[in-house]
Structure 1
């Protein structure tokens, strides 16, 4: 049995349905990322799990017990969950130690146990040296650690995080992604993490749930979501990709618009009708001349843009059929704008997508 179960979950705001018959199972001790663009329903789903919003249909069950349904909702304070918000929500007049210990005081633990558990979590989150400082004296990354420590110290059944790194600069975000994963591996709390950042999701999650329009588009491991997208939306949202549309051809080929025929080694081929091919930016090879033995998955084009980015170059190429292709190649491949190039789409890098 799953520890956290969402069964046909529905949330309406007036005539607009934000969460549409959502089903999700989360095993105990797993970290699940709800990933998607703004307005896809991920934060509303998190608020439903927390009890801050009332479900209009379906159920939420924790360890087999119903905590939310259209008929009744268990209040947030009775769910044994901790939630970390974007703003951290630290008490400015309390020290780091006092902020972290506050939840334990509300639970009427003894002074000795409060001190012991608070010191232990401060050690785990590398905050021991800062315990007497106030939030205003801390960096953004340090404040985020305090927020994490405060959430973890009460030993919640479920930990909820709502885009917790959105207020940090790029370097701190990268550091805290790995820190959140380290702390999860140490404490193994069941965690639901909302983000729109695919790198955050890839770094932290056991399971990524890609949401679109209030529904789950695809759920799977980071590798599965990246390597085996099932829809055009997932392919475009997770990692850089080119999507060429066309129709199903013979022998696992897609006859793309503009005349290009691509052999695809993986994916979903419909019986008939429209389909598409996904090719990751970094899986495309560029050559100044077409090799003599190049018979399949080759296409000529003209370089429209070329940007040097140190470890690689980012190309924009227009094919003869009019399609535009973005390719990320080694920095040693230096072809000027306006030059004709030949692109190779390896069959094992071409994935057919059902429409």
Structure 2
């Protein structure tokens, strides 16, 4: 690549928008925190509010100072000596070597391109918005330069090869995730205590996974326990995790394998829980969600260079997240480690079996053969959930009469 310096002038108003958004977020957090502390009866709350206010004004002053500092200097994206420098408002600029770039992805809305995502090897991707440039032509010129700079050095890397999902497939995966999330929320609302702070004890007794599930032929509990959650936090965290990991798995493997991995891992996790867990009652979708994590972990480890930036997480960050997950599992009371380990290993092994022969694209087409498996497992789970609701509400009706 040439060693001459190339520069793209950035729009100053975009930095002002970033500053305004940051100040609004800071002000909202300050107001909510102050109101919560003010309503509490804790001693020394005035001093605590004063400390929060001092921190708030210091952060605001620092943000405004950074903005004014940027306004008085040339705010450009530059490329020189095979290094790309991308300025940031509150932090030091990104310095990206062309050899680090593994993918360049454009994002669009109804009005045209809105951003470009620069994927990097073993580092976080960088999102650069169109609004930061003075014109659309400057943005297109920058994207064209990125493609030439990155892939002239690495023509053998086709980062989009692993992105197997079409727009239709992406929509189907999103529909699956939304449907499951709504089912989890509806189940909690129907079964929670009157104050909605936790799930009702009757729901635990009728639908939780117990040590006698198999010996008493109550197989429906394998399904019903997946849809039950103990608290709003438990429910919200699992829905958030399902949304994140489900998106990745849906884009890589398709919506059919998304369902298979999720529910297959949940079953294996439940069976390991029955065998090794010290808890008498277990509920939650965590085993299945850890299965999605396990499948994604395998793909990242084995095929990291082939994943585009929109699907990749640095391997070190992925490993750290996994270590923290199981550390929290071990030190937290009431967490079923067995189902988490079983779910994670199930997803990992499933992804290994799918990916062992080569390109995922070809196998995803053949993955349509898995539709029957997904339908059977999905039907079994929802049949178990319906049977649980029938027995639960029937038992409740008998109790009140």
TM-score (norm 2): 0.19
